[in-house]
């Protein structure tokens, strides 16, 4: 079936550290891939996306590359800030099933000053 | 901001009572979705709509019904609330015309006692 697996959290980093949050997926066809971010007490915000293999999505210093050969979409940032503390969700979009999103379980990131 | 509001934002109810959550959008999007968010599960799709009076089930639809009598409103009803339906509920819209990206409302926190 279709699924998304994220690395387990919580992840705790010091400010200015390098961030990687792993995401792998299983899907039939060619899904689009997304990262959403949820700050405490808020809804989900789209962080970045990629719609085909080898596309790189980027936003606010975050990047992720759609790797078809490894079925991965890992999130990276070169230097995290305290304000990046949030829960990050990887998701895939199934076009042939009403465009629904399949989410990973979320990874909580805590950045300490 | 995709012009999505949800009401109520918080609700406490008792087991066995009916509950209706409302999602309202201002931008005439065709597709609307209801998800629930639970720890360790990410977000899971309950129901979605692809037009007025057109709806379909998601992966966790048992115990829920939906209605869409106007483009701008998508209602989620718990016919007889149970404690297992304590969750945070998010509505989303999907932009189409090439973007195929979903944007989320602020969420409704529901507690069933």
What gap in Å lies between CA B104 and CA A43, rounded to an integer? Answer: 7
Contact indicator for A40, A86 with CB cutoff of 8 Å? yes
Structure tokens at A20: 């990687």
Angle at B90 between CA B94 and CA A80, to 5 degrees: 85
CB contact under 8 A, B31 and A99: yes
Contact B37, B43 (CB under 8 A): yes
> Token digits for A91?
């998701």
Q: Report pLDDT digits (tens) over A61-96.
A: 999 999 999 999 999 999 999 999 999 999 999 877
Average pLDDT in chain A: 93
pLDDT tens column, B2-38 = 689 999 999 999 999 999 999 999 988 999 999 999 9
Cβ–Cβ of B50/A49 closer than 8 Å?
no
Is B42 close to A104, i.e. CB distance below 8 A? yes
- Out of B44, B48, B90, whose CB is closest to A44? B90
Q: Which of residues 35-94 of A touch B (CB under 8 A)?
A: 36, 42-46, 49, 51, 89, 91, 93
The 10s digit of each residue's pLDDT in B42-101 is: 899 999 999 999 999 999 999 999 999 999 999 999 999 999 999 999 999 988 766 678
Which DSSP string do the residues of B35-46 spell out, in sequence order?
Answer: EEEETTTEEEEE
What is the structure's pLDDT at A95? 76
Inter-chain touch B48–A100, beta carbons under 8 Å? yes
Q: Indicate which of B23, B42, B74 best probes the interface with A, i.e. most A CBs within 10 Å of its own CB.
A: B42
State which H helix or E strand residue B31 sits in. Answer: strand B31-38
Report the pLDDT value the prediction gives residue A97, as an integer from 0 to 100: 72
pLDDT of residue B40: 81
pLDDT at B42: 87
CB contact under 8 A, A99 and B41: no
């Amino acid at each position: 079936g279709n699924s998304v697996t994220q690395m387990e959290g919580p992840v705790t980093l010091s400010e200015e550290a390098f961030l990687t949050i792993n995401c792998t997926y299983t899907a039939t066809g060619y899904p689009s891939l997304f990262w959403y971010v949820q700050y405490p007490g808020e809804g989900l915000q789209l962080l970045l996306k990629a719609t085909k293999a080898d596309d790189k999505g980027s936003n606010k210093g975050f990047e992720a590359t759609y790797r078809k050969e490894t079925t991965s979409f890992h999130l990276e940032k070169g230097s995290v800030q305290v304000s990046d503390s949030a829960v990050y969700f990887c998701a895939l979009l199934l076009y042939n099933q009403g465009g629904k999103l399949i989410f990973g379980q979320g990874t909580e990131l805590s950045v300490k000053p | 901001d995709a012009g999505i509001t949800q009401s109520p934002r918080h609700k406490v109810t008792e087991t066995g009572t009916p509950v209706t959550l409302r999602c309202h959008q201002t931008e005439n999007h065709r597709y609307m979705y209801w998800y629930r968010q639970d720890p360790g599960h990410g977000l899971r799709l309950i129901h979605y709509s692809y037009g007025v009076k057109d709806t379909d089930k998601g992966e966790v639809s048992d115990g829920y019904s939906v209605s869409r009598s106007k483009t701008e409103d998508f209602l989620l009803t718990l016919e007889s609330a149970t404690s297992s339906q304590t969750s945070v509920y998010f509505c989303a819209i999907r932009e189409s015309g090439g973007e195929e990206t979903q944007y989320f409302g602020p969420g409704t926190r529901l507690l069933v006692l």
